[in-house]
């Protein structure tokens, strides 16, 4: 076995494999982080849009309730034979009520779509987060493999790295690979 190792007891093949592993995984992780950062910005926009739309939805429903209440009060005050001005005011309130009733389902659908977009983006964000974590573990294991001159640690690093790269590729490609147990543990 001593004949296989160069002077000083260092396994140069192992060190080269570790170096190639670290460089390859680091470059992939850097590119994946750029995509993940852009994805997070899109998530923030989707969530912001959802919050704004839900707020507008609630405001519209509140305005509709106020108009309905005001109309009932005006009808009670006007009595069985309202004046021309009261009839005009009641008709205006009916139009406002109809406008708000037409707006609320549209706003609700838009807010739900924004929430759905956020959820879809979050799935891919989870993939990139897992990619980052798994590749970080792989790089650490590869470094220890070089220090300890142990090939089995390098093989373990390759396993973690392969799973991390798979998760990154899934994030880029939009695949539905999402280990829920791991995602729930990490979130």
Q: What is the average pLDDT value for the chain, to the nearest integer?
A: 91
> Which pair of tokens denotes residue 95?
């139009």
Asked if pLDDT for residue 150 goes beyond 80, the answer is: yes
Asked if pLDDT for residue 170 goes beyond 60, the answer is: yes
pLDDT band for 101, please (50, 70, 90 cuts): very high
Encode pLDDT of 36-95 as tens digits: 999 999 999 999 999 999 999 999 999 999 999 999 999 898 888 889 988 899 999 999
pLDDT band for 184, please (50, 70, 90 cuts): confident
Residue 27 gets which letter from DSSP? Answer: H
Our CA angle for 140, 144, 145, nearest 5°, is 115
Asked if pLDDT for residue 1 goes beyond 80, the answer is: no
pLDDT band for 7, please (50, 70, 90 cuts): low
Prediction pTM value:
0.75
What is 109-168 written as a DSSP string?
HHHHHHHHHHHHHHHHHHHHHHHHHHHHHHHHHHHHHHHHT-HHHHHHHHHHHHHHHHHH
The answer to whether residues 38 and 60 touch, using CB atoms and an 8 Å cutoff, is no
Helix axes 84-148, 151-173, angle to 10 degrees: 160
Encode pLDDT of 102-111 as tens digits: 999 999 999 9
Q: Is 82 exposed, middle or buried (0-12, 13-18, 19+ CB in 10 A)?
A: middle
Residue 9 is predicted with a pLDDT of 52
Asked if pLDDT for residue 181 goes beyond 90, the answer is: no
Helices (H) and strands (E) in the chain, counts: 4, 0
């Amino acid at each position: 076995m001593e004949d296989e190792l160069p002077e000083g007891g260092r396994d140069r093949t192992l060190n080269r494999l570790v170096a190639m592993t670290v460089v390859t995984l680091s470059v992939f992780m850097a590119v994946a982080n750029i995509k993940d950062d852009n994805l997070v910005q899109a998530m923030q926009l989707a969530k912001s849009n959802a919050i704004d739309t839900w707020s507008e939805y609630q405001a519209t429903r509140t305005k509709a309730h106020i108009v309905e209440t005001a109309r009932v009060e005006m009808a009670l005050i006007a009595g069985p034979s309202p004046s021309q001005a009261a009839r005009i005011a009641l008709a205006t309130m009916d139009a406002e009520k109809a406008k708000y009733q037409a707006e609320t389902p549209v706003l609700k659908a838009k807010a739900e779509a924004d929430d759905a977009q956020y959820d879809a983006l979050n799935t891919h964000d989870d993939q990139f987060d897992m990619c980052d974590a798994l590749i970080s573990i792989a790089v650490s294991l590869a470094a220890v493999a070089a220090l300890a001159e142990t090939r089995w640690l390098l093989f373990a690093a390759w396993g973690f790295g392969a799973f991390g790269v798979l998760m990154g590729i899934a994030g880029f490609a939009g695949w539905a690979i999402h280990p829920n147990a791991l995602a729930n543990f990490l979130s």
